[in-house]
């Protein structure tokens, strides 16, 4: 849409401006107000070469191009800018056809042509046997949104859930399970509530080990047996894995999250030795206090590859895994959606890869995010200790959404389903609408404010479009025949045309917040269109009515698509 306009315009401008069309494309701006047209070209770049003042250059270019650019109705020279106003019907139909192509399944709204390059994206990646924390909610949702954005840019995508499924804690758990008869002890209901039982076992073991440190040693010993391939322990470990995966799948279903591959840290067990060997062969390994390390630049501590007792580390696995993601999975871009607290870890891992001579290390990105800060932690039930679990936050939100819906629209059918879509959507939107790198101030009143900058607000706007469309019984043609000339209509059309560009910059920055903020702008533009322009009025001439209805349809499709890209569902009613 706007990208098509820019491409057309830059091609034609290149016929009279001594700049390559690619550069003209880059220079074209989206004016803030519709008063300044649909696209603006700043001429300042040309002043030096032409030895003229920018306003004069703008005047001359206006004279040169006036009436000569396709679909451009008016060119104005304002200061150092050339402003282009396009034919309104042309723009309405450009939008309308893109929406029609999306509806017919030809090409999704705003999507780029398929590319050969592959993005491997690591997201969610919780630690087995533990409930997902609120941090994992961020890793899951930001990851799913970035994954969807990558697809919108035409990339081949492999979404990878890199489970934390290996480490001494599994020895401890397996020890506790077999010693304390986890399967038979009534404190641990492994048949009815296996995941809760597993976590209870985890909590109890840690409590007991505080008083009796010998337990830790027993746990380590059990882990050693697991590492050495003890079948009995391995069976217990596998059971823990299955129980956890079942629980995670339930949550992923609720969140609408999907992966192409679930491959935990344990997958790399048999690839670690060869990785250490490879690092060694490249002459990077140094012994330091009995450990094997790679020295990095001055601003980073060395990366430990092998501890003095021979054990490998989180970093060792990540190095092995990155090589596999590149060579095995054919990933050209490797993304890691993980909290900012692991910043040093990823800088070290990427640096080691670079030192190993992998030039693709520059395509590894830590998509980092900040933490949640709860304004009123009292409202959250923290089950044990101070950890806030994702499940509790989601349930609370669904419960609150249900109350609001009950008050606002008690006659609604499917209240349960809608409360789920709204409650979950509210949490996700709240998360994604703030710059991921910053901490999120979590405030229930804002998260579920149907009138504020929230998920329910965007969902509600789409629902309002749907209800207008339901009231109209006739057929709405794709092509509109009259221009929509009010400033609200023009602003809304222009806003909707920006969508492909928003997807592209959101992906380039790995920031779903750009898309979320944009959707809020669309809702505001729709709000003033709806307030100031009649849509279903009987006195309205038929062509204008159809053009306005089509605009409502386009808004609805775009909002629903935008929400879907963020991983949020759109209710039919609310
Ligand atoms: N399981 C880790 C955690 O919860 C996150 C793993 C992130 N991915 C990675 N390749 N290191 O902290």
pLDDT digits (tens, 9 = 90+) for 468-480: 999 998 999 999 9
Report pLDDT for 191: 87
Report pLDDT for 447: 86
Q: What is the pLDDT of residues 283-333, one digit of tens each?
A: 999 999 999 999 998 789 999 999 888 778 899 999 999 999 999 999 999
Residue closest via CA to ligand 1's atom 1 equals 164
Q: Ligand 1, residues 124, 126, 162: which to mutate, most atoms within 8 A of Cβ?
A: 162
- Please answer whether residues 367 and 336 qualify as being in contact, where contact means their C-beta atoms are separated by less than 8 angstroms: yes
DSSP assignment string, 451-490 = TSSSHHHHHHHHHHHHHHHHH--S---SS--S---SHHHH
For residue 96 the two structure tokens come to 């309308």
Report pLDDT for 320: 96
Share of the chain above pLDDT 70, in %: 97
Ligand 1 pocket member 510 (CB < 6 A): no
Report pLDDT for 241: 95
Report pLDDT for 552: 97
**Separate counts of helices (H) and strands (E) for the chain:** 21, 13
Indicate if the pLDDT at residue 383 is higher than 50.
Answer: no
| Average pLDDT rounded to a whole number, residues 158-173 | 94
Residue closest via CA to ligand 1's atom 11 equals 318
Residues 6+ away with beta carbon under 8 Å from 313: 304, 305, 306, 307
In angstroms, the Cα distances linking 535 to 34, 531, 545, 546, 547 are: 21, 10, 6, 9, 9
C-alpha 313 – ligand 1 centre gap (Å): 12
DSSP assignment string, 63-90 = HHHTTTSTTEEEEEEETTEEEEEE-HHH
Q: Give the whole-angstrom CA distance, residue 230 versus residue 223.
A: 10
Q: Give the whole-angstrom CA distance, residue 24 versus residue 35.
A: 22
Q: Output Rg (C-alpha) for the chain, integer angstroms.
A: 28
- The neighbour count for residue 87, using CB atoms within 10 Å, is 16
For residue 114 the two structure tokens come to 């398929």
Indicate if the pLDDT at residue 393 is higher than 90.
Answer: no
Q: What is the pTM of this model?
A: 0.93
Q: What is the pLDDT of residues 46-93, one digit of tens each?
A: 888 889 999 999 999 999 999 999 999 999 999 999 999 999 999 999
Q: Higher pLDDT residue, 38 or 392?
A: 38
Q: Give the whole-angstrom CA distance, residue 47 versus residue 57.
A: 7
Q: Kindly state the helix (H) or strand (E) to which residue 206 belongs, with its residue range.
A: helix 194-211
Return the minimum-mean-pLDDT range out of 125-134, 336-345, 410-419, 496-505: 125-134
Residue closest via CA to ligand 1's atom 10 equals 318
Indicate if the pLDDT at residue 200 is higher than 90.
Answer: no
Indicate if the pLDDT at residue 523 is higher than 70.
Answer: yes
Beta strands per DSSP E along 96-201? 118-122, 156-161
Residue 261, φ and ψ in degrees, nearest 5:
-155, 130
Report pLDDT for 387: 64
C-alpha 349 – ligand 1 centre gap (Å): 13
Report pLDDT for 382: 43
Indicate if the pLDDT at residue 183 is higher than 70.
Answer: no
Indicate if the pLDDT at residue 257 is higher than 50.
Answer: yes
Q: Ligand 1, residues 129, 146, 164: which to mutate, most atoms within 8 A of Cβ?
A: 164
Ligand 1 pocket member 140 (CB < 6 A): no
């Amino acid at each position: 849409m706007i990208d098509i306009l820019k491409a057309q315009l830059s091609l034609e401008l290149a016929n009279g401006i001594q700049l390559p069309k690619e550069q003209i494309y880059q220079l074209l701006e989206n004016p803030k107000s519709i008063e300044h047209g649909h696209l603006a070209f700043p001429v300042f770049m040309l002043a030096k070469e032409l030895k003229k003042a920018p306003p004069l250059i703008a005047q001359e270019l206006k004279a040169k191009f006036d009436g000569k650019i396709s679909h451009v109705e008016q060119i104005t020279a304002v200061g150092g800018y050339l402003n282009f106003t396009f034919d309104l019907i042309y723009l309405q139909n450009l939008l309308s056809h893109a929406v029609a192509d999306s509806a017919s399944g030809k090409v999704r709204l705003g999507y780029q042509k398929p590319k050969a390059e592959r993005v491997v994206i690591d997201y969610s990646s919780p630690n087995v046997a533990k409930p997902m924390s609120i941090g994992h909610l961020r890793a899951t949702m930001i990851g799913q949104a970035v994954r969807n954005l990558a697809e919108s840019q035409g990339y081949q995508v492999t979404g990878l859930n890199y489970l934390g499924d290996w480490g001494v804690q599994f020895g401890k758990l397996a020890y506790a399970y077999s010693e304390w008869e986890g399967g038979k002890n009534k404190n641990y209901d492994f048949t009815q509530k296996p995941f809760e039982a597993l976590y209870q076992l985890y909590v109890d073991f840690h409590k007991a080990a505080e008083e009796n440190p010998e337990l830790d040693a027993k746990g380590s010993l059990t882990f050693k047996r697991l590492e050495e391939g003890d079948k009995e322990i391995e069976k217990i470990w596998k059971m823990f894995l299955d129980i956890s995966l079942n629980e995670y799948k339930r949550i992923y279903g609720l969140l609408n999250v999907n992966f192409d591959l679930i491959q935990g840290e344990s997958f790399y067990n048999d690839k670690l030795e060869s990785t250490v060997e490879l690092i060694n062969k490249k002459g990077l390994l140094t012994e330091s206090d009995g450990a094997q390390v790679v020295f990095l630049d001055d601003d980073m501590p060395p990366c430990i590859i092998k501890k003095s007792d021979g054990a490998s580390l989180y970093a060792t696995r990540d190095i092995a895994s990155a090589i596999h993601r590149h060579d095995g999975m054919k990933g050209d871009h490797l993304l890691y959606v993980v909290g900012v607290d692991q910043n040093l870890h990823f800088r070290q891992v990427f640096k080691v890869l670079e030192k190993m001579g992998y030039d693709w290390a520059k395509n590894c990105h830590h998509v980092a995010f900040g933490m949640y800060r709860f304004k009123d932690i009292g409202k959250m039930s923290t089950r044990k200790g101070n950890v806030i679990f994702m499940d509790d936050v989601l349930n609370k939100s669904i419960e609150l959404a249900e109350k609001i819906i009950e008050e606002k629209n008690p006659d609604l059918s499917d209240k349960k389903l809608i409360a789920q879509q709204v409650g979950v959507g509210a949490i996700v939107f709240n998360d994604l609408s703030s710059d991921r790198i910053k901490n999120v101030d979590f405030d229930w009143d804002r998260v579920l404010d149907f009138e504020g900058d929230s998920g329910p607000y965007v969902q509600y706007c789409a629902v309002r479009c749907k209800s207008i469309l339901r009231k109209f019984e006739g057929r709405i043609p794709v092509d509109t025949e009259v221009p929509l000339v009010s400033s609200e209509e023009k602003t809304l059309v222009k806003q909707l045309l920006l969508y492909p560009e928003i997807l592209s910059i959101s992906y380039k920055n790995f920031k779903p917040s750009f898309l979320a903020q944009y959707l809020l702008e669309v809702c505001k533009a729709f709000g003033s269109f709806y307030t100031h322009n009649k849509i279903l009025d009987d006195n309205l001439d038929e062509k204008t009515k159809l053009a306005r209805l089509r605009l409502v349809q386009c808004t609805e499709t775009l909002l629903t698509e935008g929400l879907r890209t963020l991983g949020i569902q759109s209710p039919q009613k609310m």
